[in-house]
Structure 1
Amino acid sequence: MKLLVKAPAKINLALDVLHKRPDGYHEVEMIMTTIDLADRVELTLLQEDKILILSHNRYVPDDHRNLAYQAAQLLKGRFNVKQGVTISIEKTIPVAAGLAGGSSDAAAALRGLNKLWDLGLTLDELAEIGSEIGSDVSFCVYGGTALAKGRGEMITELPAPPTCWVILAKPFIGVSTAEVYRQLNLSGMHHPNIGKMIEAINHNDYQQVCGNVGNVLEDVTLKLHPEVAQIKEQMKRFGADAVLMSGSGPTVFGLVQHDSRMHRIYNGLRGFCDQVFAVRMLGGRHSLD
C-alpha cells in the first residue's frame, strides 16, 4: 500500500518574539500561512519493522536527524506499531530556507501514517504529537492560516488571507535558526502589530495585510547575510506591495496582486538569485480524507 501526501511550505506574514522562557525556548507570536510550493512525501507500507528514508537531495538526512523519520518513530513507539514504512521525500521547498520544509515533511508523514497504519487520530491529536518534534510541525499538521503562540505549538485558526501572488527568492546560503535566536537582542526592537495583522486578515484587507507585515528576526539575519538585504531591496525596486523575510531566513517573499507585476518581479529576480518561485497562498486547512 502506498500513499502520496503533499507537504506545503509556509511563510510568516508576521513574526514576533516576546521573551526567552525558562525552558530555553523563546515565546513567539506568529501569523503563518501555507503556500502552493510543496514537497511530495510518498509512504510505502513495509511488513518489516523499520523506517527507511529515501531522498535524492543530498541535504536531506536519511536517519534519525530527519523530522519525518522522527514522526514515524514517535507514532510507532506511542501506538506500538509493528509495521514499517519507506518515506520517499521529493524536495521542491528549498532546504534551511525559513519555509518549514522539514517540519512540513514531518507533518505530512504524521497525516499519512495515521491513515497507512490505521491509527484513527484527529488533526488535533496529530498536532499535539507534532509539537514534540519541532516548533512549526503543529502548524504544518493543520496547514491553512493561523496564529501560533507559545513556542509555535498553540494554534488558533484564521481565515485565508486576501488572494495574491507570493514571489519567493532564496540566495544560495543556509541560515541557522539557533544562531539567529542566539544573536537576537530583545530590548529596543520594533515589534510587528500581530493584532492589526489578524484584523486585516479577518477583513480580507490586502492593503492592511501589506502594511502590517513584520519579522523581528530580520535585523539579525540581514546583519549576518547582507545578500538577504539586497534581495529585499531588489524586490521593493521591482514593485512588490510588501516584502519580508520568512522565518529566520534567508528566503525573502514579496506580495503582489497583478499578474503583470508578478512576472516583472519574477523575471527580474531570476537574474539575481538562485531559487525564485511565484506561487499562491493555499488558504484552507488540511483534511484527513
Structure 2
Amino acid sequence: MENGTMPSYFYFTLFKEFVHLRYFILIVTLLVYLSILLFNVIILYVVFKERSLHEPMYILITCLSVNDLYGSTGFFPRLIIDILSNTNVISRSSCFVQIYIIYTYAISEYTILTLMAYDRYVAICHPLKYHRLMNSKIITLYIVIASLYSMFSMGLIVFLTARLPLCGTDIARLYCSTWSVVRLSCGVSTSTNNIIGLFVTTTAVFLPAFFIFYTYVRILIICQKSSKEFRGKALQTCLPHIISFVNYSIAIFCDIALSRLDSDKIRIAALVFSVEFLVFPPFCNPLIYGLNLPEIRKHILCLFQRSKIAQLPE
C-alpha cells in the first residue's frame, strides 16, 4: 500500500509457528506467571510486615517487586489470550496500552537498579553520610521523579507512534513493541520517532548502566583498601544487585540490538531475548534477594515456619 491508514487491529504472526505446542506453552506460561506473582508478593509482604526492613535498600527491593508485577501483568495475561486464540488479533488501543506498560516497566527497572547501586555506593563509600543522603523522604522523591520521567517519555513515544500512518498490520513478535509498529509506517518520515527513541534509550538505559558501572568501580576501590570482613559484608549486599543488573542488561541490550534486524536466522534469538527481558527479571529478582540477603531470608523462613505451625492439629 502506498497510502498509509490507521488500522483498527494488529496481528501477531509468530503464534502460527508454535500452534502445535500451544498447550505445552500455555502450561509453562501459567506456571511462570503464577510463580512470579507468588515470589514477588512474598517479598512485598515480608518487607512491609517487618519494621526492621523499612530501610532504603529494602524499600527499593519492594519497588523492584512492584515494578516486576506491573510489567508481568502487562505481558502475561495478553500472552495467555493469544496462545488460546486462533486469530491472534489485538486492537489498536490495546496494542499501544501494552507498549506503554511494557516500556515504562523497562525504564523503571533500570531506574530502580540505578537507585539501588547508588544506595550501596553511599553505604559503602560514604557510610557517615548515609542517613543524610539516603532516607525515606529522599528515596520517595527519587522514585517519584523516576516514575514521572518514565511515564512522560513513554507517553511521548506512544503519542508520536500512534500518529504514524501504517501500511501493514502484521507484528512478528509475541507482544506489541514500539519498533514493530514504527516499521509498519509508510509515506512519512520517522526521524522524529528515531531521535526521541534514541534520546530515551540513552537516558534510560546507557547513562544508568554507565553510572552503575562507575559506582561499582568506586566500591571495588574501597573494598581493596578495607579488611577481609568488610569486603565479605560488602559483597553479600552487592552480589544480588550485580546479578540482577547483569541479567537485565544482557536481555535489554540484546533486545534493543536484535529488534531492528529482520532476518529469519536471528528471529528465534530475538524472540528468546524479548521473552527473557520480560520473564527472567521478574522471576529471578525475588529469588535472588530472598535467598542472598540474610534479613529477608530469615523473615521468609520464619513466615513459612509459622504457617506450618498453624497447620498442625491442636
TM-score scaled by length of structure 2 = 0.27
Q: Which has the higher contact order (CA 8 A, sep 6+)?
A: 2
Give the structure with the larger helix fraction: 2
Structure 1 or 2, whichever has the larger Rg, is: 2
Give the structure with the larger strand fraction: 1
